[in-house]
Amino acid sequence: MSTITAVNTYDLRFPTSSTLSGSDAMNKDPDYSSAYVAIATNADDGLEGHGFVFTIGRGNDVVVAAIESLARPLVGRNVENLLDDMRTAWDMFVHDSQLRWLGPEKGVEHMAIGAVLSALWDLKAKRAGMPLWRLLAYMTPEELVSTLDFRYLTDALTPDEAIDMLRRGRAGMAEREATLLASGYPGYSTAAGWLGYADDKMTSIAKEETQDKGFRQIKLKVGQNLDDDLRRLALAREAIGPDVKLAVDANQVWDVPQAIDWINHFHDFDLAWVEEPTSPDDVLGHAAIQRAIDPIPVATGEQMQNRILYKQYLQAGAFRVMQIDATRVAGPQEIVLEYLLANKFGVRVCPHAGGVGLCEAVCHFAMFDYLTVSGTLDGRMIEYVDNQHEYFVNPTRIVNGNYQAPTAPGSGVDMKLDMAERYLYRG
Amino acid sequence: MSTITAVNTYDLRFPTSSTLSGSDAMNKDPDYSSAYVAIATNADDGLEGHGFVFTIGRGNDVVVAAIESLARPLVGRNVENLLDDMRTAWDMFVHDSQLRWLGPEKGVEHMAIGAVLSALWDLKAKRAGMPLWRLLAYMTPEELVSTLDFRYLTDALTPDEAIDMLRRGRAGMAEREATLLASGYPGYSTAAGWLGYADDKMTSIAKEETQDKGFRQIKLKVGQNLDDDLRRLALAREAIGPDVKLAVDANQVWDVPQAIDWINHFHDFDLAWVEEPTSPDDVLGHAAIQRAIDPIPVATGEQMQNRILYKQYLQAGAFRVMQIDATRVAGPQEIVLEYLLANKFGVRVCPHAGGVGLCEAVCHFAMFDYLTVSGTLDGRMIEYVDNQHEYFVNPTRIVNGNYQAPTAPGSGVDMKLDMAERYLYRG
């Protein structure tokens, strides 16, 4: 029996805008930031639950305020009751009858709920002595599904279907786990592609990422100027050769008709996907774009607000690559639902990652999926950017372009807070 | 030449949960609240710009924090430059390249932006000496459209189409303005319908609202228990007679298949609409429901996050009654776009209203629409609930069930802050 004794929050902002790393058609000068929360208990194990929301600077204070407001009432609560019944924890936040007016289930409040629920799952995994990917994979299908909320999803996926899917998914799990621990999970690199980079910087990084570091896909930002895009794509394709995959990312810069026109200039480059052609809210727009640019696949998801949007993208055939994010939705329970939905519709998931812990966090879900949901690595890969890993206790390790499976207990997001402290924002 | 000298915010919470006024299938115990902002300048006129976000209690502090964080940097800014170019003000907030990560354009941050932009429009209308509905109607089509952002809308509506629409809409405007000033704009009453009310309370209020106060439509909350719903609908229909319209509101309680089953029990009651059958994020779900419950119209909008969702509902035929809200989106500019979109698709708009200033605020947009967009009252009406009007300097006046046109300069939301002060929330 132990109780929660403290909830500490941190408004961390890294001045990345000074290097133009992270610059794209919509995000000209991001300062990679983290609204970070640590939940402490009076248990003898001394373990804390950590979680965060990734932002790109301004407004990080508002997310911290939302986390504070949500998590403060946890102080004094019984830890075991909370962790043994994560569905009740979910309901307490996601279905709070007053808080849902602030969404429902979207934006600042939903991301803040995600940080708090993630911190609880982090503590649960640490107490179980397992990395989160393994905890999720080794829960029985019934146990895992009992934590999930199918509200607004049952026209696409029911709890019984989810249990069946997870039961089937367990066949061959031990073998896949061995493969994962031996070789890791494919990553791809966005390092070369920022719009702020000159051509020669772009091509030399592209070569380094693929020839030296072993990534088998790179991604370029596009959408500011068509001629620039065509020149950069030709240069990048030449630099990486025909066998490495090449994706592009427009970061929501276009309207629907403009997206169709622009992307239809890209057919010669054998693109792996076009990412975020327009607003992530536009299901019908993405469906129209996907039809009009066939066979180039549409990808999106890093700013998709919740499982209800993912459901519709899948129902409408609005993308062929689904990109989940670790800190956009309400934590592990919603991310697991996203993977189950994707598998039901036969769509591959290639998670979004990037700065300040996104790589460390999101790989757990891809690995869980490989073990017990899709059971395959085919066409799957996790984005990778080499940013702020040094501030993490167990930073992401890439070998031959593959994410190595984390083995430390927890969700992987523990920061070296003493070291990060110089980036604490003070208004 | 004047500058902004202060931005003051107020976290106001009215303890409405004690009366069950406001109770429905999802919102069991709302405490009607306002995240309120007042912007002061050093101009001789002494005018302030006021705006707010309506919430139902918990989390109101987070919205206040977001408003503070957004509006504080306005102190010291030139007022005339801001008010003369509202499109730049919009871009400054809605398209801030770092802030948009917190949405984009949804949830707490978007609502907070709405409060700040609304406060600027309030000041603009006060300086012009006109109520906001009249300011909007008397701007030239070119002027008004120049303030609007068509990003992500051009597959449905272009600026040129909007200008044409507003030009055509001006025919007969003077006559309609005279009608509006003489008789007002139709309202409807939700007072009888809260789920927490006993049958006899419901029927006696229904009679009072329609026979004494002259409302020609009432609305009941449904969705908690089908037998209760059928009994209450029969009682309500008996109380109001066949000529008064009767709508129902499920407040998002159902999944799609359940909504279809449940609503198809309602065909005998000649319903004006079924409101919020499921999640407001579910365009495809609402489209499926609308097809399956025909001819009962689907209505939704009070929690619709932005113009991109409205666009899709219209494109998909997902509702037949569009309900806008005054404080959910990014202020007057986005609400005007919503009306233009509705008119393009020939769908009627019946605004959501309720407590703490929603009635005072939203009627301006309906009246603007009547003057220069749709030009009709046919099937149009504004929700009315008699809550917290006493805290407003110019409270909504209802005569024979009609909203009387506000004549005071501004957007109508000035509160008697000295009187409301006892409801200031202090954590």
At A112-126, the pLDDT tens digits run 999 999 999 999 999
Note whether B26 contacts A153, CB cutoff 8 Å: no
pLDDT in tens, B337-373: 999 999 999 999 999 998 899 999 999 999 999 999 9
pLDDT in tens, B125-176: 999 999 999 999 999 999 999 999 999 999 999 999 999 999 999 999 999 9
The percent of residues in chain B predicted with pLDDT above 90, rounded, is 91
By annotation, the residues of A acting in catalysis are: 221, 352
Residue A18 in this model has a pLDDT that exceeds 90: no
Residues of B in contact with A99 (CB under 8 A): 58-59
Burial environment of residue A97 by CB neighbours within 10 A (0 to 12, 13 to 18, 19 or more)? middle
Instruction: Give the SS3 label for residue B230.
Output: helix
- The answer to whether A30 contacts chain B (CB < 8 Å) is yes
- The answer to whether B62 contacts chain A (CB < 8 Å) is yes
The arithmetic mean of pLDDT across residues A317-327, rounded, is: 98
> ∠ at Cα B401 (B395, B404), nearest 5°?
40
Handedness of CA A136, A140, A141, A147 (dihedral sign): negative
Note whether A97 contacts B30, CB cutoff 8 Å: yes
Residue B216 in this model has a pLDDT that exceeds 70: yes
Note whether B106 contacts A106, CB cutoff 8 Å: yes
pLDDT in tens, B367-388: 999 999 999 999 999 999 988 9
pLDDT of residue B63: 98
CB A270 within 8 A of CB A295: no
Q: Which residue has the tokens 């609502």?
A: B111
Please give the residue of chain A at the shortest CA–CA distance from B302: A101
DSSP structural state of residue B78: B
Phi, psi at residue A296, to the nearest 5°? -70, 130
Q: Which residue has the tokens 């400054």?
A: B92
Residue A314 in this model has a pLDDT that exceeds 90: yes
Find, among B48, B50, B20, the residue nearest to B32 by Cα: B20
Confidence of residue A20 (pLDDT cuts 50, 70, 90): low
Residues of B in contact with A257 (CB under 8 A): 154-155
Burial B182-202 (b: 16+ CB within 10 A, else e): eebbbbbbbbbbbbbbeeeeb
pLDDT in tens, A348-363: 999 999 889 999 999 9
Note whether A59 contacts B99, CB cutoff 8 Å: yes
| Nearest CA distance, A61 vs chain B (angstrom) | 8
Burial environment of residue B46 by CB neighbours within 10 A (0 to 12, 13 to 18, 19 or more)? exposed
Residue A188 in this model has a pLDDT that exceeds 70: yes
Measure the CA–CA gap between B271 and B245, rounded to whole angstroms: 7
CB A102 within 8 A of CB A109: yes
Confidence of residue A23 (pLDDT cuts 50, 70, 90): confident
Measure the CA–CA gap between A90 and A424, rounded to whole angstroms: 29
Q: Does the complex come out with an ipTM higher than 0.95?
A: yes
pLDDT in tens, A202-237: 999 999 999 999 999 999 999 999 999 999 999 999
- pLDDT, mean over chain B: 96
pLDDT in tens, A28-49: 788 999 999 999 999 999 999 9
Nearest to B285 among A155, A255, A306 (CB): A155
The arithmetic mean of pLDDT across residues A231-254, rounded, is: 97
| Nearest CA distance, B306 vs chain A (angstrom) | 9
Give, in order, the Cα–Cα distances in Å from A234 to each of A189, A211, A226, A268, B75.
18, 18, 12, 9, 48
By annotation, the residues of B acting in catalysis are: 221, 352
- Tell me the sheet residues that pair with A3: A78
| Nearest CA distance, A369 vs chain B (angstrom) | 26
pTM of the model: 0.97
- pLDDT, mean over chain A: 96
| Count of CB atoms situated within 10 Å of the CB of A200 | 9
Confidence of residue A17 (pLDDT cuts 50, 70, 90): confident
Q: Any alpha helices (H) in B1-131, and if so which ranges?
A: 60-71, 79-84, 86-94, 107-128
Burial A327-346 (b: 16+ CB within 10 A, else e): bbbbbbbbbbbbbbbbbbee
| Nearest CA distance, B240 vs chain A (angstrom) | 31
CB B27 within 8 A of CB B57: no
Residues of B in contact with A310 (CB under 8 A): none
pLDDT in tens, B259-307: 999 999 999 999 999 999 999 999 999 999 999 999 999 999 999 999 9
Measure the CA–CA gap between B216 and B233, rounded to whole angstroms: 16
The residue type found at A407 is T
Note whether A285 contacts B153, CB cutoff 8 Å: no
H or E segment and range at residue A92? helix A86-94
Residue B19 in this model has a pLDDT that exceeds 80: no
